[in-house]
Chain A
Amino acid sequence: MYAVTQLRNNSKLLANPAVHLFLVGLLAASVLFTTTGQAAAQRPVNPGAKKLKEFGDRIGKYVDLQNKLDGRLPSQAPSNDPGKAEAHRKALADAIRSARAGARIGDVFGDTADQFRLIIEQDARDRSVRDAFAAMLEVPKSVTPRVNAEYPEQAPLATVPPLILARLQPLPDGLEYRFMGRDLILRDTKANLIVDVVHDAVPTIRR
């Protein structure tokens, strides 16, 4: 059950692009440069940035695998038969599942999970309660996401608020972020598979 906690009613403030830009900048700075003063003086490897780079590398490897397996299937073109696209998707999903049979939670997000939680928590703080509930209204809640499982076939693909997307690490074509319950998932858009999960990414919210 979604919880709503500590959200201030500041949607008017949030609606101001300048304020939003400032918040995004502030957050990016806090994530990427947690030791700004030292970094400027000594240029050490920033642990946050290093983790995100490694996350990007793992994303790249996943997409390489996805493209390789997709390339083995007949190419797709728009068709009057919607069954063709679905058959292609299923074949790709089977191939990816087989190739990642041993995949576990955290294989892709790795040790960035807390950084994602922090970004989403910050976003929740910036929203009004109404906005926070609206964002989560149609998120599927009854299914616990599992790696290599399909995103529930008839569940709506609830919108991921664009202001959150602007704060998260960009993803290449073929992957996207979605919420399931309070969890953040990486979803393979070509195969409709759950690639990885950050549990409890959405903070508890109270009305």
Chain B
Amino acid sequence: MRRLLALPSLVALVALVSLAPRAQELTLPNTADSVKFAAMGDNGTGDAPQYEVAAQMVAWHAKFPFDTAIMLGDNLYGSQEPKDFVQKFERPYQPLLAAGVKFYAALGNHDNQTNILYKPFNMDGQRFYAYNKKNVRFFVLDTDYLDPKQLQWIETQLKDSGADWKICYFHHPLYSDGGRHGSEVDLRVVLEPLFIKYGVNVVYSGHDHVYERLKPQKGIYYFVSGAAGQLRPGDLHRSAMTAAGFDQDRSFMLNEVAGDDLFFQVISRTGKTVDSGSIHRQPKPPPSS
């Protein structure tokens, strides 16, 4: 009888022992020539949780040496004096900056537009811009103000790019089940046709302070990662388009593009893996006339 009673405890213990290390394990292939990047949104609070997420990023960087971090907007909240850049960016990410990680920022609705001139954000004075990392081309948009000029720019950029992978990122999600904001229908109406036509593979956004992975929408993969500093607990209202989500704590993403596959692993503020998987690159669309 005593043995029977002890059995559940033993099972629980075995489960804990087997799960705990797994939670800290890197699930990404971590190959030598891959493109490795972190993704984070809505991080710039300057508060303790942002620092705790940043500490996780530093810890995981030791296992997975990403050289790029994409910032999905709301990089600084509130006051944006020089001291705020220290408190809300330079100090929490100092070990990553010192290790040579380059941050590439998109503007969010809480960011001052003059921040495009802040060198560590690598925006080169532009609200919207693009850059390459090996076989990946990143397109960064300013969805606070998506005017016809910017639309023309992104269409030309996407059309002219022959990169294997086309990854777009910006602050406002085209698809989201976040309760506070949700999907930005206006943006979807104007951007989605271009993404489909020119073969965008993956899109990252923030704005809703949760993590969500969407089921592919018209063949394109969407992530919402807006909880690297802010959090709205319980704000993810899962729907038929939700593939996975996490809204109980803050989080950031690790990503790796290796050949025709993109691997991702989502890490919580406490270091737990809350989602992981891979995406196989979609076939390129036929050349447009």
Which residues in A have some Cβ–Cβ distance to B below 8 Å? 11, 14-15, 17, 20, 76-86, 88-89, 131, 134-135, 137-138, 153-154, 156-166, 170-171, 176, 189, 192
Q: Are A79 and B117 in contact (CB under 8 A)?
A: yes
What residues of A have a CB within 8 angstroms of the CB of B117 in the complex?
A: 76-79, 82, 84-85
Which residues in B have some Cβ–Cβ distance to A below 8 Å? 78-82, 85, 109-111, 113-115, 117-120, 123-125, 143-149, 151, 172, 181-182, 184-190, 193
Q: Are A162 and B186 in contact (CB under 8 A)?
A: yes
Q: Are A135 and B145 in contact (CB under 8 A)?
A: no
What residues of A have a CB within 8 angstroms of the CB of B147 in the complex?
A: 162, 165, 170-171, 176
What residues of B have a CB within 8 angstroms of the CB of A80 in the complex?
A: 118-120
- Contact partner, B151, options A131, A137, A162, Cβ 8 Å: A162
Of all chain B residues, which has the CB nearest A162?
B146
A89–B172 Cα distance when bound, in Å, is 26
What residues of A have a CB within 8 angstroms of the CB of B148 in the complex?
A: 165-166, 170
A6–B255 Cα distance when bound, in Å, is 45
What residues of B have a CB within 8 angstroms of the CB of A162 in the complex?
A: 146-147, 151, 186-187, 189-190
Q: Are A86 and B110 in contact (CB under 8 A)?
A: no
**What are 19 of the A-B contact pairs (CB < 8 Å)?**
A15-B185, A17-B193, A79-B119, A80-B119, A82-B82, A82-B115, A83-B81, A84-B117, A134-B184, A138-B109, A156-B109, A157-B144, A159-B143, A162-B146, A162-B187, A165-B147, A165-B148, A170-B148, A192-B113
A157–B182 Cα distance when bound, in Å, is 18
Q: Which of B115, B144, B189 has the most CB of A within 10 A?
A: B189
Of all chain B residues, which has the CB nearest A189?
B113
What residues of A have a CB within 8 angstroms of the CB of B193 in the complex?
A: 17
A39–B225 Cα distance when bound, in Å, is 53
A14–B109 Cα distance when bound, in Å, is 24
| Chain A nearest Cβ from B71, distance in angstroms | 15
Q: Which of A154, A157, A176 has the most CB of B within 10 A?
A: A157
Of all chain A residues, which has the CB nearest B146?
A162
What residues of A have a CB within 8 angstroms of the CB of B145 in the complex?
A: 157, 159-160, 165, 176
Q: Are A159 and B118 in contact (CB under 8 A)?
A: no
